Amino acid sequence: MLSVKEAQGKILNFKIRVKKKEIPIISSLGLVLAEDIISSDDIPVNDNSAMDGFAVKAGDTFGAGKISPKKLKLLEEDIPAGYVPSAVLKSGYCMSIMTGAPTPGGCDCVVMKEDTKKEGDCVLVYKECRAGENIRYKAEDIKKGSMVLKKGKEIYPADIGVMASVGISRVSVYVSPLIGIITTGSELVDVRGKLTAGKVRDSNSYSLSAQVKEMGTEYIRYGIVKDDKQALEEKILEALAECDVLLLSGGVSVGDYDYVKDILIKIGANLVFWRVNQKPGKPLAFLTYKDKFIFGLPGNPVSVMVCFEMYVRPLIRKMMGSSRLFRKTITAKAACDMDHKKGRANFTRVIIKKKGDDYFFSTTGMQGSGILTSMVLADGIALFSEDMGDIKKGSKIEVYLIKRG
Ligand code: AMP
Ligand code: MG
């Protein structure tokens, strides 16, 4: 049986040809940049005020204090945002200026309005102002011709703001794959269905859809298919005609009604591997069909989510053009002794706590593959690898952080 790393290697070794498309920046959140973003402007385009207040010469404010204000003559021309002043400031004078407005020639600092008082056509300044204070200099954020965002970067809200600030309204991104989701099992009822004896509500198509959605890519839910060979074949062919990656939940183990793998092979899919030496998720199957990828995920609700995290998500990220395929990991110490049978990898759902400089993990409680609440509680998935025996308190383990934020 394959080890976790071998199975991941087999999936991620496939060469992927990522396509590009140009879209409005507002639609690019979560996607990956397919071009470098170069600024054709200095940002800001000119020196400007960081405060509402008065444009002054720093030297004129020296010695100013609460009981010894400096008196400056106020020029009639004021400077609202967006207006370019015509006056040049001379010693002994000041100009009223608003946040973001261009500073006038001769001015080397802006006194906050809160540190002044108007008196007739003069302004009393109650605080010294250093040269450069409250001025935002031309190009201090972004220099004309500089690279602001690099190709291959995942797009976050601030990136979209930065692109807008340098005048980019449309951006080239990698095309994300379309993911198809089919859940199989004669025991399954829809979320609105009544839970009578022997029935199970289909949660997997929801958790999988949400895991895909969280990645910023699109999916189609094909609903529940009974353990029926013909119905399965029809639905699988329908999904493969539309999607780049097909996720099937259930029916991939050794049960009498587990038809998924056989049907996929029958329609011409190539079985890359079946079964991984791991818990949960041992019956995981991975296949290719033309240029498409298929995962046969074990039906247990935790197995489905863990296998998505460890195998499906990295492949989708690769298909999205990202170079960071896996979740961030930390090394955490076991908060207590934990049982682990050597010879098989275990994905333990854990809660992380920080004490001093160290991270400690403890399990979320019951670890059965049907205990979906163990995923709800989990900050991360700790990988107890095949070669580890019982985990001693304080041992260091790699934990994949699965929660956002
Ligand atoms: P299977 O892999 O088909 O043998 O299913 C294993 C277990 O997972 C069974 O107890 C199923 O009832 C459960 N299961 C399968 N599919 C789903 C699903 N879509 N939602 C929730 N539980 C499921
Ligand atoms: Mg089943």
Q: Is the peptide bond before 280 cis (omega within 30 degrees of 0)?
A: yes
Where are the extended beta strands (E) located within 203-256? 219-225, 245-249
Does residue 299's CB lie within 6 angstroms of at least one atom of ligand 1? yes
- How many whole angstroms separate alpha carbon 207 and alpha carbon 204? 5
Architecture of the 4-17+176-319 domain: 3-Layer(aba) Sandwich (3.40)
Where residue 369 falls (left for φ over 0; alpha for ψ -120 to 50; beta otherwise) is alpha
**What is the pTM assigned to this prediction?**
0.87
Apex CA 348: angle with CA 344 and CA 354, to 5°?
135
The dotted CATH code for 30-42+142-174 is: 3.90.105.10
**48-136: which CATH topology?**
Molybdopterin biosynthesis moeA protein; domain 3 (2.170.190)
The total of other beta-carbon atoms located within 10 Å of residue 357's CB is: 5
* Domain residue limits, the chain: 4-17+176-319, 30-42+142-174, 48-136, 329-401
How far is the first Cα of the chain from the last one, in angstroms, to the nearest whole number? 36
Which residue's CA is the closest to the ligand 1 atom numbered 20? 202
Q: What is the pLDDT of residues 150-180, one digit of tens each?
A: 999 999 999 999 999 999 999 999 999 999 9
Q: What is the pLDDT of residues 8-40, one digit of tens each?
A: 999 999 999 999 999 999 999 999 999 999 999
Q: Which atom of ligand 1 is nearest to the CA of 300?
A: 8
Q: Which two tokens stand for residue 97?
A: 């200026």
| pLDDT computed for residue 264 by the predictor | 98
Residues with Cβ within 5 Å of ion ligand 2? 185, 250-251, 299
Instruction: Give DSSP secondary structure letters for 21-36.
Output: EEEEGGG-TTSBBSS-
By DSSP bridging, strand 122-125 and strand 70-74 are antiparallel
Q: Which atom of ligand 1 is nearest to the CA of 224?
A: 19
Per-residue DSSP letter, 127: S
Q: At 301, which helix (H) or strand (E)? A: helix 301-307
Which residue's CA is the closest to the ligand 1 atom numbered 10? 300
Would 4-17+176-319 and 329-401 be classified into the same CATH topology?
Answer: no
| pLDDT computed for residue 98 by the predictor | 98
What single letter denotes the amino acid at residue 179? I
Where are the extended beta strands (E) located within 51-150? 53-56, 70-74, 93-97, 109-112, 116-119, 122-125, 135-136, 147-149
- How many whole angstroms separate alpha carbon 227 and alpha carbon 261? 12
- From the CA of 309, how far away is ligand 2's center (Å)? 21
Instruction: Give DSSP secondary structure letters for 231-246.
Output: HHHHHHHHHHHH-SEE
By DSSP bridging, strand 122-125 and strand 345-355 are unpaired
Cα distances (angstroms) measured from residue 403 to each of 39, 152, 271? 34, 23, 32
- From the CA of 313, how far away is ligand 1's center (Å)? 20
- The matching CATH number, chosen from 2.40.340.10, 3.20.20.70, 2.60.120.10, 3.30.2130.10, for 329-401 is 2.40.340.10
Low-confidence ranges of the chain (pLDDT < 50): none
Return the best residue to mutate from 184, 195, 200, 263 for the ligand 1 pocket (most ligand atoms within 8 A of CB): 200
Which of 349, 347, 350, 328 lies closest to 400, judged by CA?
Answer: 328
